[in-house]
Amino acid sequence: MISVEEARARILAAFAPLGAERVALADAAGRILAADAHAGADQPPFSVSMMDGYAVRSIDTGPRRVIGSAPAGKPFPGMLGGGEALRLFTGSVVPDGADAVLAQEDAERDGDTVRFSETPHPGKFVRPRGQDFRAGEILASKGRRLCARDLALLAAGDVAAVAVARRPVIAFAATGDELSKPGEPRKPGGVVASSVYGLSPLIAQWGAIPRDLGILPDRIEAIAALADQTCDLLVTLGGASVGDHDLIQAALGPRGLALDFWKIAMRPGKPLIFGRLGQTPFLGLPGNPVSTLVCATLFLRPAIAAMLGADAATSLRRARLAAPLKANDQREDYLRARCEERDGDLWVRPFPVQDSAMLKIFARADALIVRKPDAPALAEGAPVEVLTLE
């Protein structure tokens, strides 16, 4: 048995970024940048008015002569001279010669003459060219997961397409003679293969492409056929406990399975296989559904992040215990729990039952309390670290 930390380090060491592809900006939401994205133009591309009003020279005083009008997108072709004003709107180009804008509310127009009740300082109501960013500036850095605001920013920077990490293909199969799909007739003594329904959307959410290989019977030839898959990571669900482990070994050993480790000192999810099947990394997740999804969060998610060139760290938050906890044994523990905010503090309450087959409690949870091996008993109110669930 190795520690969670060591398992994660060994898994991360087995993955490197996969490479890049170019996608149109409109298709880039949620993708990971494979290279820094630079602005293609200054923003704003010229000095613009922040108001509906008039462009003026701040050194002038008294009434001005209105020399024309320039709506947004229809810049004035000439230059503003002494004693002149140009009618502008929000987003209009401020003409050469002008250095300030006076608001419509502070203007009194009389034919071609306009009087102002305010004296502007230079730059008043003007967004200078390049105020937001300059051409060539980095707008979003390599490794960043592009959010909606990033896309708007890149569009403003005249970026039409970006280089993003290729999405890894994660092929996965549930193993077990006892398994069937929901809604299908159940085998005698059989259960529904539930974990795959949770795993598939998580894989997509973590930025990879799920490829569901279905349910495999506990037969050597069925499991051996997994070696024919072309994918970036092959995952089995179930097939990692003692008896199953022998079957996986018997089926995949002759196909080139090289095991790295197959037991982790954690709960839920002690049995966890990691290795390589020929050139393909291989991860055997435990079959109990809660164990499957917790182990996927701890080990599959960082593997995907590493293939994407993204941050692979599991981020934890501090919270205070809403109920006391007993001392932990030698396995790192991930307790299903619910968080609540009280007076700005985050409190977390573990569920009294922590059986790794109980999906209902897992679905009601919104966090996992992380307890290190041999952690001492804790009183109510003590600080703990939690992993927030989706």
Residue 268 CB, shortest distance to a copy of itself, in Å, is 12
Instruction: Kindly tell me which of 227 and 387 has the beta carbon lying closer to a copy of itself.
Output: 387
Q: Is the peptide bond before 44 cis (omega within 30 degrees of 0)?
A: yes
Report d(CA 63, CA 102) in Å as an integer: 12
Instruction: Answer for the pair 354, 335: CB distance below 8 angstroms, yes or no.
Output: yes
C-alpha angle 299-364-271 in degrees, rounded to nearest 5: 30
Selected binder of a copy of itself within 202, 307, 308, 378 (CB under 8 A):
202
110/343 with CB nearer a copy of itself: 343
Smallest gap from residue 339 Cβ to a copy of itself (A): 12
Q: Report the residue number, 26 or 327, with the smaller CB distance to a copy of itself.
A: 26
Please give the Cα distance from 144 to 30 (Å, whole number): 9
d(CA 47, CA 94): 6
Answer whether 158's CB lies under 8 Å from 40's CB: yes
The yes or no reply on residue 341 touching a copy of itself (CB under 8 A) is yes
The least CB distance from residue 358 to a copy of itself, in Å, is: 5
**Residue of the chain from 75, 83, 143, 256 that contacts a copy of itself (CB under 8 A):** 75
Burial class of residue 302, CB neighbours in 10 A (0-12, 13-18, 19+)? buried
Q: Is residue 62 near a copy of itself by the rule CB under 8 A? A: no
Q: Identify which range of 14-22, 88-96, 253-261, 323-331 contacts a copy of itself by CB under 8 A.
A: 88-96
Closest CA to 17 of 309, 312, 313: 309
Assess whether the previous peptide bond of 268 is cis (omega < 30° from 0).
yes
Closest approach of Cβ 116 to a copy of itself, in Å?
A: 18
N- to C-terminal Cα separation, the chain? 29
Q: Give Cβ neighbours of residue 297 (< 8 Å, ≥ 6 apart).
A: 202, 314, 387, 389
Q: What residues between 365 and 384 interact with a copy of itself by CB under 8 A?
A: 365, 383
Site residues (CB under 8 A) for a copy of itself, limited to 21-40 = 25-26, 29-30, 40
The mark string for 214-243 relative to a copy of itself (x by CB under 8 A, - otherwise) is: ----x----------------------xxx
Based on the shown chain and the rule CB under 8 A, indicate whether residue 123 belongs to the binding site for a copy of itself: no
Q: Is 287 in the site for a copy of itself (CB under 8 A)?
A: yes
CB of 166 to a copy of itself, least distance (A): 20
The binder of a copy of itself chosen from 1, 152, 250, 382 (CB under 8 A): 152
What part of residues 252-281 is at the interface with a copy of itself (CB under 8 A)? none
Q: What amino acid occupies position 150?
A: D
Among 322, 359, 375, 387, binds a copy of itself (CB under 8 A): 359
